[in-house]
Amino acid sequence: MEHSLLFLTAVKSPSKRVRASAALMGLGQLMARQWVKGLAYLGALAAFIAYMAATGVRDIAGFFTLGTVEADPWLGTAGDDSIIMLLRGLLTFVLILGLVLLYRSNLRDILETERTGAYGERAPGFVLSMRSFLNNKFYVVALAIPVAGVLVFNVIPIVFMILISFTNYGGDIVPPKLVDWTGFESFRRVLSLSGIKETFFRILGWNLIWAVLSTAVNYFGGLALALLLNKKCVKFKRFWRMFPILAYAVPGFITLLAFKFLFSYGGPINHYITAAGHSAVGFLDIDAGMKARIIGIFVNAWISIPTSMLLATGILSNLNPNLYEAASIDGAGPWQQFRQITLPFVVFSTTPVLITNFIGNFNNFGIFYFLRGGLYMDGYFLASDTDLLINWLYNLSIDNNYYSIGAAVSLIIFLITSAVSLSVYVRSNAYRREDSFR
C-alpha cells in the first residue's frame, strides 16, 4: 500500500474507529478496547509533541540558520555551536520520520483490526497480538537492532558528512566561530581553487593507476599461485599452502609496520647496501618517487595475494576437469587451455569480488599511511606523491581540520567508486541473477 493510498483508505473508511486513528493515532485502538496498544501510540505521540515544543522546533530552525550569536569571551556571551545545532536538527528530522512510520503502522494496525473484527471476532489483546507479531513479522523483530545500529553509526554519520560538505566548516571556521551553509562552494574549491585543484587531479590520477594495477597484480597473482598449487606434479600441497596462509593470518598492520622497518635506514636492506660501500637508500623518503610507489604495490600484493589465492582455489575446485581432457584431446596446449577454459570461468564467477577488490584498493588507506604517513610534499596541498585520495582525506579532515573540503572529497570518491561499480555490475552476468549482487 502506498503512502497516500493508506491514508486515503483510512479517512474514507466507513468505520468510526479507523477515522479516529487517522485523526489521532491510537484513538481508534482505545475505542476497540485495545488499551495497551492505544495508550502506547498516544503516549508516543504525546512524547513527540512535548519534544517538539521543548526543543524540536528550535532545533529545526537552528538547522537552517546554523546559529546567529557568535560567542564573545569579552562580553561573556555563550554563542551558538553550529555543529551541535546541525546535528540536533538532523536528529529532529530523523524523529519526524520515525513518527510518520509509527503513524502508518497505527493505520495499518487499525485497518487490520477492523478487517478481522468484521467477521465478528473479538479484537486480539496486547499479549496475543505481540505473539502473533513475533511469529508473522519475525523479520521486523530480527532486523530492528541491526538496522538501528547501522542507522546510528553508519547512515546518520554519512548524512551528517554530506551536510557538512555544503557548509564552510573547517580551517579557521570551527566553533566558537559560526558555520554557514555555502552550497557547492567546497566542491568548487576542490575542483577549481589553485593548489587544491592540482593536488586533487594529481592524486586522482595516481589513485586510478594504483587501483587498476594493484587489483590486477593481486588478482592474477592469486590465480597464478592457485594454479601452481593445483598442478598435478606438485606434492605436499598442504605444506606449500601453509606459507601464503601464514601471510594471510598475520594482522595487516603488523605486516605494514614490519615492511616499514625493513625498508628504513636502520633496516637490513640498507645495512647490506652500506656494508657493500654504497650510501643508504631512502626507500620511503620524501624524494623516493617511484621507489615508494613500487614498494607500495609489492607490499599490498604480499598482503592480498593469499586471500585471492584462497578464493581462486575454491573456485577452481568447482571447475569440471573433463573440460581440460576434452581440450587436450582437441590438441589445445596449456596456454590455450588457460585462455579458453580457466580464465573465462574464474573471471565469470569472480566479477563481483573483482569490483569489491577494486574499490577496496581504490580506498586502501593503510598501505601508504603506514609506509610513509603524514609527509607533505611541494606541489601538493597537505599530501605526498604516494597518497591516495583516502589518505588525503585523512590529512585534510583529521590532521588539519579541513572538514568541509574533506567531506566534498569523500563525496567525489563515492561518485567515482559507485560509477565504476555500477557500470561493471550492469554489464556483468551476476547482475542478471536476482540475488547475487555483491
Partner 1 sequence: MKWKKTLDWLGAHLALLIVCFLFFFPVLWLVLASFSATGSIYDLKGFFPGSFSLSGYKTLFGDTTMYDYPNWLKNTLFVAVGSSILGTVLVILTAYTISRFQFKARRTLMKSTLVLSMFPSFMGMTAVYLLMVNFGLINRLWALVLIYASGAPMGYLVQKGYFDSISASVFEAARLDGASSFRVFRSIAMPLSKPIIVYTALTQFAWPWSDFILPNLLLKNKDKWTVAVGLMHLDETQFTRFAAGSIFIAVPIVILYFCLSGFLVTGVTAGAAKE
Asked whether 231 and 239 are in contact (CB, 8 A), the reply is no
Name residues contacting partner 1, limited to 77-116 (CB under 8 A): 83-84, 87
Task: Give the nearest distance from C-beta 136 to partner 1 in angstroms.
Answer: 8
69 vs 297: CA distance, rounded Å: 51
Q: How many CA atoms lie within 13 A of 326 on its CB side?
A: 6
- Alpha carbon distances (Å) from 246 to 225, 307, 314: 15, 11, 18
Task: Give the nearest distance from C-beta 49 to partner 1 in angstroms.
Answer: 26
Residue 353 lies near partner 1 (rule: CB under 8 A): yes
* Cβ-based burial of 14 (10 A; exposed 0-12, middle 13-18, buried ≥19): exposed
Asked whether 218 and 300 are in contact (CB, 8 A), the reply is yes
Name residues contacting partner 1, limited to 399-418 (CB under 8 A): 403, 406-407, 410-411, 413-414, 417-418
State which residue, 184 or 243, has the beta carbon closest to partner 1: 243
Phi/psi at 181 (nearest 5 deg)?
A: -75, 130
What track of x and - describes contact with partner 1 for positions 254 through 293 (by CB under 8 A)? xx-xxx-xx-xxxxx--xx--x------------------
Asked whether 71 and 79 are in contact (CB, 8 A), the reply is yes
Q: Which of 300, 350, 384, 404 binds partner 1 (CB under 8 A)?
A: 350
291 vs 203: CA distance, rounded Å: 17
Name residues contacting partner 1, limited to 117-156 (CB under 8 A): 134-136, 138-139, 142-143, 145-147, 149-150, 152-156
Phi/psi at 120 (nearest 5 deg)?
A: 85, 15
Please name every residue paired with 173 in a beta bridge, in sequence order, or none if there are none. Answer: 170
The position carrying cell 479507523 is 18
Task: Give the nearest distance from C-beta 132 to partner 1 in angstroms.
Answer: 10
Residue 35 lies near partner 1 (rule: CB under 8 A): no
State which residue, 90 or 96, has the beta carbon closest to partner 1: 90
Residue 437 lies near partner 1 (rule: CB under 8 A): yes
Name residues contacting partner 1, limited to 295-324 (CB under 8 A): 302, 306-307, 310-311, 313-315, 318
From the CB of residue 85, how many other CB atoms can be counted at a distance below 10 Å?
24
Q: Which of 92, 113, 167, 349 binds partner 1 (CB under 8 A)?
A: 349
Number of residues that bind partner 1 (CB under 8 A): 98
Name residues contacting partner 1, limited to 218-257 (CB under 8 A): 225, 228-229, 231, 233-234, 240, 242-255, 257
C-alpha cell at 68: 546567529
48 vs 42: CA distance, rounded Å: 10
Residue 436 lies near partner 1 (rule: CB under 8 A): yes
Q: Residue-wise over 112-121: b if at least 16 C-beta within 10 A, else e?
A: ebbeebeeee
Q: Which residues contact 333 (CB under 8 A, 6 or more apart)?
A: none
Kindly indicate which of the ranges 28-36, 56-64, 211-219, 360-368 contains the residues binding partner 1, using the contact rule CB under 8 A. 360-368
Measured torsion, CA atoms of residues 150, 153, 155, 159, in degrees rounded to the nearest 10: 180
What track of x and - describes contact with partner 1 for positions 41 through 80 (by CB under 8 A)? ----------------------------------------
Task: Give the nearest distance from C-beta 325 to partner 1 in angstroms.
Answer: 18
State which residue, 49 or 174, has the beta carbon closest to partner 1: 174
State which residue, 45 or 211, has the beta carbon closest to partner 1: 211
